[in-house]
Structure 1
Amino acid sequence: MNRESSLQCKQLSGRGAGYSAGMNPAMPSTPTVAQATVLLRRLFDAAVASAQPALCVPAHLPTPEALGRGRLVVIGAGKASAAMAQAVERHWAGDPQRLSGLVVTRYGHAVPCRRIEIVEAAHPVPDEAGLRAARRIMARVRELREEDVVLCLISGGGSALLPLPLDGITLADKQAVSRALLASGASIGEMNVVRRHLSAIKGGRLAAACHPARVITLLLSDVPGDRPMDIASGPTVADPTTCADALAIVQRYGIELPAPVREVLESGRGESVKPGDARLARAEVRMVATPQMALEAAARVARAAGYAAHILGDAIEGEARDVGKVLAGMALQVAERGQPFAAPCVLLSGGETTVTVRGQGRGGRNVECLLSLAIATGGHPRIHALMGDTDGVDGLEDIAGAVMGPDTLARAWALGRRPLDALANNDGHGFFQALGDSVVTGPTLTNVNDFRAILIEG
C-alpha cells in the first residue's frame, strides 16, 4: 500500500480500508504501519466531518416568523465562514429576496453563493483585501433598522481576516504586531487580548455597530475553552479585558510595538465594548461546533474499530514540543505499564499549542508536536500517531499535519535526516514531507482547531 497516497486522499471509505479481511472489529489484531495509518486518518476525517457547516449550521437559523418584516443580513469572517454562508442559503426557509450579506474567508476557501458575497483575504497575517472587506461590513451594518436580523458567521481565522485598525494605526502596524505575536509563543487567548484592543471591529464593536438590530452569532469554535471572546477576537461579544492587560502581554513576551500601537494601548483609547453595554442587549451567541464534538466523533469511529478511546482534553495548550513530550510519556506508560489505560487504545486530544520560532524551517504547531513525540517515543514498536489542524492548514502551508509510526525515526536516519536538528530548526513539514508522511487534505471548509490521535497497540 502506498502510504503517501492513503494520506493525501480527502476521505476514506470508513469501512476498515486496509485492514485484514478476517479481523474481528471487536478485538483488533496487531495492525501493520499502513493499517494503523488508515485508521488514524479515518479518525481525523470523522473529526473534520462532524464540524462541517452543512451539518451543524441549519438547526440554528432563525425562522421566517422570527424575522417578521425585517431583513436577514449575513456577515462574518473565518476559514469556515464561506461554507457557513452556503449552508445558510441552502437552508433558509424565508423569502430569498430578504437575504443578503458579505463574509470574508481565507484565500482558497471560498464556495459558491448567490445572495451572500464571499470575499477572500490573507491568513494568518492580514492584508489589504481583508481591510477593505471589514470596512464594507461596518458600512453595511450601520444602515440596519430595529426590525432587521443580523446573522453573524464566525469561525477560526477571523482575527486576521477582519483587520480594521483603530484610528492612527496602519495596516502595516497590525501586520508587524501579528507577526511578532505569532513568533512569540503567546497563547491564542493572549494574542487575541492584544488584537481586540487595536481593532475598530473586534471586542464587541461589530455588534455595537449593528444596534438597534437583533444580532445572532453562530460560532464554530477553534479555541481552547470555547470562549466566545477569543473566537476571531470576539467581534460581537463583550470583552472584560483591558488595554492594561494587552500591554502586560506585550511586555511578557518582549514584543516591540510600533509607536502608534503603543499610544493606543497606553492612552486607553483602544478599550473594547464591556459587559453590560446597552448596544449588545439584543445580541446572542450560539455555539454550533466545538473541538469536543469533533473528538467525540473520532472516538466513536475508534470504538467501532475495536479500540478503547480516551479523550485527554479538548483545550490542551503549551509549547508544542513540550506537549509532544508529555503525550509521549503517557503513550509509553500505556504501552509498557497499562496505566492509566490498557492497550489497545487510542488517546485523543485537541486544543491549540504554540511554537516559539527559533529556526528557519517549514513548520506548524501540529508537526512540531508530532516530531517531538516521535523523538521521545524513540521508535516504540506499538505506538502510532497523527496530528493535524482541522482546517487543513498547519502553520503557513496547505499541509494539515503528519503521521508517525514505529519506523519513522529509522526511515529518517536512512535518508540522512536528523530528527533533533529538524526540531531545533522548526522544520516539521520538511521532516515529514521527506518521508512521505504529510497529511494533505486541501481546504476542509471548517475549523475546530488541532486534532491529535495516538494509537497504542495491545
Structure 2
Amino acid sequence: MTSGTGTGHWDDATARAALLRLFEAGVRAADPLTVLAPHLPEPPTSGRVVVVGVGKAAAKMALAVEQAWPAVPLSGLVVTTHGADLPDPPANRRIPVRFASHPVPDAHGAAAAAEILAAVRGLTADDLVLFLVSGGGSSLSTLPAPGLTLGDLIAVNRELLSCGAPIDHMNCIRKHLSGFSGGRLAVAAHPARVVTLAISDVPGDDPAVIASGPTLADPTTFAEARGLVAHYRMRLPDAATRHLAEAAEETPKPGDPRLAGTELRMIATPMASLRAMAAEATALGLKPLILGDALEGEARELGRALGGIALSAATHGLPVARPAVLLSGGETTVTIDGPAGEGGRGTETLLGMALALAGTPQVWALCCDTDGIDGKSDAAGAIAAPDTLARARARGVDPRAALTGHDSTGLFRALGDLVVTGPTLTNVNDVRALLIG
C-alpha cells in the first residue's frame, strides 16, 4: 500500500487519492483568480472600459477583473451556464452575469449575445473592450444570423453534437450561421481597442476556434462549412441550408482593417494544466509522461489506444517505467448511432481504457472534464480501477453493452466511481491520467 517508493505496490485508496490530486492540480492551474490578473492591459487613461465575456469561466474571469481593477469604472456583462456562478457572488458586482443553456442553446443566450453587441457599439478609439472568453461560449452566445431563427440554430446544434465532428469543424459551421461569432463582435466594437483574454479548451489552442472566435479573424469560409455539412451528412433546417448556399456576408478575414485594434492574450491552456499535473505527480513519487494536449478522435477508440500504452508500461516498462503516470488532454468525440444511455466523452474514453486493460493489476485511470461537467451528466468524469469490469459484471452490468449503448456514466455511477466536483468555473478541456503502480 505504498506510494512514491518505486515498489510497484499501490493500494486502491492511495491510487484513487493520487489521481484526484492530479486532477485538482490541473484545475488549479486554470483558475482565473490566479492566472488572469498578470495578463491585463493597462486601463486607458481616457475612455471607457467595457468588459464582456462568454463561456463556462465567465463569472470567475469577471470577478478576477473586478479584483484587479478595484478603482477602474467598468461596464458590460458576461454570460455563463446556468449553475456556474460564484459560490458567494459579490453584492456589489460591477460586471453583471447572465445565464444560458449549454450545450443546447436557448433564448437567454441569444438575448445575452445581443446585449453584448449593443454594449460595444458606438465606442471610440480611446475606449477599451476587454473580452473574456472560455469554452462553451459558442452555445452560450448563439445569435442567429439575419434570416435564421433560434430554432434553426438549435436544430443545427443537435446535429453537430451527434455527428462526431471535432470542435474546429463544428465551429466552422456555427460561425457561418451566426450574428455574433467569427469576428463579428470585434467588428461591432471597431474602432475601440479590443483585448481578448482566453482560456483555451480546444486542441492546439487555436484562438479562432475557442467559442467560435467572436473577436478574431475567421480563416474559414462558407464553402468549407458547406463541405463539412456534406461530409458529416448533416440534415440542417432549410433556412440554414439556404443561408450557407447564398453566402451573402462572409466572416471578417485576416487583414480586415476593422480587426487591426484587436489583441489576444492566452491566460490558461490544456498544456499548462498537464504540466501542473506532472509536477504534482513528481511530488507523489510518480514519473510523469505527457502524451500530448490535443489527443482527439472517437472517445472509445482513444480510450482503447491509451489503455494499450498503459498496458505496455505495466508489462514492459515502456514508454515509461513504473511507478508512473501517463497524462493527456484534448477533446474526444462521441458519435451517436442509436439509442444512448447516460454517456459522456470522459467516461466513454475511460470505459474504453478499462476494456483494453482487462483488469491489469496496478493500473488505475481517471478521465475528467476540467469544467466539472462531462457531457450532460452531473459528474466531471470517473475513475477506473483494476477491478472495475469485475465489479460491473457482478452487478449485472455488461461493460461492452454499456459502451455500445453510450451508457458509460451509468456504469460508473452504479459502481460509485464518478468524480463529482460541480462546476469548477474554468475549462481547459478533458484531462486523463493513467497511474501504473
- Both proteins in one fold, TM over 0.5: yes
Matching of residues 95-110 of structure 1 within 5 Å: 95-96=71-72, 98-110=73-85
| 1:134-158 Cα deviation digits (max 9, x unpaired) | 1111111112122110000000000
What aligned pairs does 1:41-56 form with structure 2 within 5 A after superposition? 41-56=20-35
Q: Is the 8 A contact 1:28 1:306 kept in 2?
A: no
The partner residue of 1:83 within 50, 60, 63 is 60
1:344 Cα shift? 1.3
User: Contact (CA 8 Å) 1:149, 1:213: kept in 2 or not?
Assistant: yes
**How many angstroms apart in 2 are the aligned matches of 1:431 and 1:270?**
47
SS at match of 1:116: coil
Identity of aligned residues (%): 54
Equivalence for 1:327: 306
- Other-structure match for 1:13: none
Superposed CA deviations along residues 328-355 of structure 1, whole A, max 9, x for unmatched, are 1111111111112111110000000000
Match of 2:259 among 255, 280, 288: 280
- Residue in 1 that maps onto 2:395: 415
Q: Contact between 1:264 and 1:270, CA under 8 Å: does it hold in 2?
A: no
In the other structure, the counterpart of 2:213 is 234
Is it true that 1:406 corresponds to 2:381 in the alignment?
A: no
Q: Secondary structure at the match of 2:294?
A: strand
**The residue matched to 1:190 in structure 2 has which SS?**
helix
- Aligned residue for 2:332, secondary structure, equals coil
Selected match of 2:38 from 53, 59, 84: 59
1:353 paired residue among 316, 332, 340:
332
1:377–1:238 distance in 2 versus 1, CA, 3 Å: same
Using the TM superposition, give the Cα deviation of residue 446 of structure 1 relative to its aligned residue in structure 2, in angstroms.
0.3
Take 2:321 and 2:68, find their aligned partners in 1: how far apart are those partners? 45
Alignment of 1:290 onto 2:247 = no
Partner of 1:189, secondary structure, is: helix
| Alignment partner of 1:373 is 2:353 | yes
Name the CA distance, whole Å, in 2 between partners of 1:240 and 1:341: 40
Structure 1 residues 25-40: aligned runs within 5 Å: 25=4, 27=6, 30-40=9-19
Residue 288 of structure 1: how far off its partner (Å): 0.2
Question: CA 1:69 to 1:437, structure 2 compared with 1: closer, same or farther past 3 Å?
Answer: same
For 2:46 and 2:6, locate their aligned partners in 1 and report how far apart those are by CA, in whole Å.
59
SS of equivalent to 2:397? coil
In the TM superposition, 1:29-428 aligns within 5 A as: 30-64=9-43, 67-92=44-69, 95-96=71-72, 98-111=73-86, 112-113=89-90, 114-358=93-337, 359-428=339-408
CA contact (8 A) 2:3 2:10 kept: no
Rounded Cα–Cα distance in structure 2 between residues aligned with 1:63 and 1:205: 25
Q: Describe the superposition over 1:406-438 as per-residue Cα deviations: whole angstroms up to 9, x where unpaired.
A: 110111111001000100100011000000000
For 2:79 and 2:299, the matched residues in 1 are separated by: 29
Q: Which sections of structure 1, spanning at least 5 residues, go unmatched?
A: 1-19
Once residues 33 and 398 of structure 1 are traced to their aligned partners in structure 2, the CA distance between those partners, rounded to angstroms, is 24
* Structure 2 partner of 1:449: 429
Q: Measure the CA separation in 2 of the matches of 1:38 and 1:26.
A: 16
Q: State the Cα deviation string for residues 210-253 of structure 1 (Å, max 9, x = none).
A: 00100000000000000001000000000111001011111111
Shift of 1:61: 1.4
Q: Sort the Cα spacing of 1:56 and 1:28 in 2 relative to 1 into closer, same or farther, 3 A.
A: farther
Distance 2:331 2:144 in 1: 26
Helix, strand or coil at the partner of 1:101: strand
Instruction: Tell me the amino acid that sits aligned with residue 402 of structure 2.
Output: A
Shift of the 173–24 alpha-carbon distance from structure 1 to 2, 3 Å rule, reads closer
Determine the C-alpha separation between the residues in 2 that align with 1:26 and 1:69: 60
> For structure 1, which segment, 298-307 or 141-150, has the greater mean C-alpha deviation from structure 2 after superposition?
141-150
Partner of 1:120, secondary structure, is strand
Whole-angstrom distance in 1 between the partners of 2:302 and 2:189: 41
Question: Does the 8 Å CA contact 2:29/2:273 hold for their aligned counterparts?
Answer: yes
- Normalised by the length of structure 2, the TM-score is 0.97
Are the counterparts in 1 of residues 4 and 323 from structure 2 also a CA contact under 8 Å?
Answer: no
Aligned-residue offset at 1:26: 5.5
- Partner Cα separation in structure 1 for residue 271 and residue 327 of structure 2: 10
Provide the rounded CA distance (Å) in 1 between the counterparts of 2:320 and 2:8: 18
Deviation at 1:269, TM superposition (A): 2.1
* Aligned equivalents of 1:398, 1:411: Cα separation in 2: 22
Any stretches of 5+ residues in structure 2 without a counterpart? none
Over 3 Å counting, the alpha-carbon distance change for 1:270 and 1:188 in structure 2 is farther
RMSD: 1.1
Measured in 1, the distance between the counterparts of 2:218 and 2:308 equals 38
The alpha-carbon distance between structure 1 residues 270 and 425, as it changes in their structure 2 partners (threshold 3 A), is farther
8 Å Cα contact 1:28-1:307 kept in structure 2: no
Any idea what the Cα deviations from partners look like across 1:347-400, whole Å, max 9, x if unmatched? 000000000013320111110000011011101112110001000010112210
Give 3-state SS (helix, strand or coil) of 1:316's partner: coil
Deviation at 1:51, TM superposition (A): 0.2
1:24 and 1:102 map into 2 onto residues whose CA distance is: 47
Size of the aligned set, in residue pairs, is 432
SS at the partner of 1:448? coil
